[in-house]
């Protein structure tokens, strides 16, 4: 039986390695309910992508040396800004050396390698990304799909999954990608979801790119209006209200997408459809 692979990529801010744990539990419960099974484990395999450690040590040093040691005011606010702004500043598309860019992307490559080893080199791939994580995921798959630059971190170059060729579904949550479009004069070439290779590998499996945003989230935006190419690439911009009584009506809702029932249920439903296709309808090789 062919499992479906899922990677989860976090966004801006101070993150823990366990950032995806609650989301994984919610997705497990929703998916298992749809499959009438005790657990999602026999059907899907989820690999979190933790890239926060790439900048975390230096961000902590800046906060300690420049804020705490110099006794600057508004320490809590400064800590928040250091970890949010520094991530966006430190992560940049390839420059003269691309060290930070490649280091962050290596985290995704490592996750894909782990999935490939566990569930096979041609397993369909779902990507769930939050905030800056969508920018990172978009750049990662863009480089694989459109550029001649061969990402040096791919561990097994014979694996279609690791080369991004099995990408079928992409879910962006509270994305800052529209703001990054200002960096380019021409921002009319979004990644292909599903990938061209994915369409050939799984004829009949309908992939999608769905973007979720909250109107109260100042860091989350619709995508289809960026450019006609994005209108075609993104199946839907879905406006939702995430968060609890304290956060659902203000910008602090930005951190609540992975807890939202509508988001989780939509992804779980698509995972169930993909699993059934791969194991009942998919033409036998």
pLDDT of 132-142, one tens digit each? 999 999 999 99
Q: What is the pLDDT of residues 205-263, one digit of tens each?
A: 999 999 999 999 999 999 999 999 999 999 999 999 999 998 998 988 999 999 999 99
Q: What's the whole-model pTM score?
A: 0.92
Q: Which residues pair with 173 in a beta bridge?
A: 130, 212
For residue 202, the 8-state DSSP code is: S
Q: How far apart are CA 233 and CA 122, in angstroms?
A: 23
- Residue 86: its pLDDT value, please? 76
192 closest CA partner among 206, 176, 209, 210 = 209
**Residues contacting 54, CB < 8 A, separation 6+:** 90, 100, 103, 104, 107
- Residue 265: its pLDDT value, please? 98
Q: How far apart are CA 124 and CA 128, in angstroms?
A: 13
Show the beta-strand stretches assigned E in 81-121.
Answer: none
Residues of the chain with pLDDT under 70: 93-98, 148-152, 185-186, 282-285
In terms of residues, how long is the chain? 285
Q: How far apart are CA 279 and CA 182, in angstroms?
A: 43
- Residue 80: its pLDDT value, please? 74
Which strand ranges, in their side-by-side order, compose the sheet holding 236-239?
44-49, 4-9, 125-130, 167-173, 208-213, 236-239
SS3 4: strand
Q: How far apart are CA 134 and CA 137, in angstroms?
A: 5
Contact 195, 166 (CB under 8 A): yes
């Amino acid at each position: 039986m062919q499992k479906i692979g899922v990677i989860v990529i976090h966004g801006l801010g101070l993150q823990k390695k366990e950032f995806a744990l609650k989301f994984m539990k919610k997705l497990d419960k929703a998916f298992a309910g749809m499959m009438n099974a005790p657990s999602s484990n026999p059907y899907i395999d989820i690999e979190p992508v933790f890239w926060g450690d790439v900048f975390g040590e230096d961000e902590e040093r800046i906060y300690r040396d420049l804020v705490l040691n110099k006794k600057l005011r508004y320490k809590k606010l400064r800590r928040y800004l250091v970890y949010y702004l520094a991530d966006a500043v430190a992560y940049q598309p390839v420059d003269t050396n691309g060290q930070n860019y490649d280091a962050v992307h290596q985290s995704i490559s490592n996750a894909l390698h782990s999935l490939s080893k566990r569930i096979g080199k041609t397993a369909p791939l779902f990507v769930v990304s939050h905030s800056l994580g969508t920018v990172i995921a978009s750049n990662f798959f863009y480089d694989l799909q459109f550029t001649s630059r061969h990402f040096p971190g791919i561990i097994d170059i014979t694996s279609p999954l690791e080369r991004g060729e099995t990408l079928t579904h992409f879910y962006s949550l509270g994305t800052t990608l529209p703001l990054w479009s200002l960096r380019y004069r021409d921002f009319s070439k979004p990644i292909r979801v599903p990938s061209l290779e994915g369409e050939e590998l799984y004829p009949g499996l309908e992939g999608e790119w769905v973007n979720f945003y909250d109107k109260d989230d100042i860091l989350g935006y619709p995508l289809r209006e960026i450019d006609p190419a994005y209108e075609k690439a993104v199946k839907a911009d879905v406006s939702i209200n995430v968060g609890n009584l304290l956060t659902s009506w203000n910008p602090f809702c930005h951190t609540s997408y992975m807890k939202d029932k509508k988001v989780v249920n939509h992804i779980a439903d698509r995972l169930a459809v993909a699993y059934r296709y791969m194991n009942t309808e998919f033409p036998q090789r």
